[in-house]
Amino acid sequence: MGEEIKVIVFRLGEEEYGIEVDKVQTIERMMPITRVPKTFAFVKGVINLRGVVIPVINLRGRFGLEEVEATDQTRVIIVAVNDMQVGFIVDSASDVIDLNTDSIDSPPEVVGGIKAKYLRGVAKVGEERLLVMLNLSEVLNKSEIIQLEGLEE
């Protein structure tokens, strides 16, 4: 029997994704982002959140999806990855659900154009709903983390 985990559900386009609640520190409305030169295109810059400088990544850009203008629904999900805070820009963050780890299947090679290495798996929620679970340590690889850590200083 798998364990129950709490998952934050967010959207990129038509797809729903999940991140474990224990990795999420806060969800914020879109705020001004300071651009930083010579970073990856999907790194939008940094924000000052309650006195902490946090690099912000557009997940659409990271996954090679078309980037869109921010709306009232756009959110920045602040997560902790390898002892570092990073903000992910998502189209919307909708709810928190309980998920049994047994309902998470390993990911197919490509889901919606996103490489499987970024994914922990695909969870079945109810009869009709699928939730793509992110593998946060792969969304940011080590060389990118080293570059982002330089932005925090």
pLDDT band at 67; cut points 50, 70, 90? confident
Selected residue with higher pLDDT from 153 and 140: 140
Question: Per-residue pLDDT averaged across 106-117, rounded?
Answer: 62
Question: Per-residue pLDDT averaged across 48-76, rounded?
Answer: 91
C-alpha to C-alpha distances, 8 to 20, 38, 105, nearest whole angstrom: 6, 32, 18
Pairing of strands 24-29, 75-81: antiparallel
Bridge partners of 93?
10
Over residues 18-59, the pLDDT tens digits come to 999 999 999 999 999 999 888 888 889 999 999 999 999 999
Quote the tokens at residue 16: 């729903």
Per-residue pLDDT, 141? 64
pLDDT band at 114; cut points 50, 70, 90? low
Count CB-CB contacts under 10 A for residue 34: 12
Per-residue pLDDT, 145? 60
Domain ranges (residues) in the chain: 4-141
Distance CA 29, CA 136 (A): 21
For residue 27, the surrounding DSSP H or E stretch is: strand 24-29
Query: Is domain 4-141 annotated with CATH 2.40.50.180?
Result: yes
Q: Is residue 130 over pLDDT 70?
A: yes
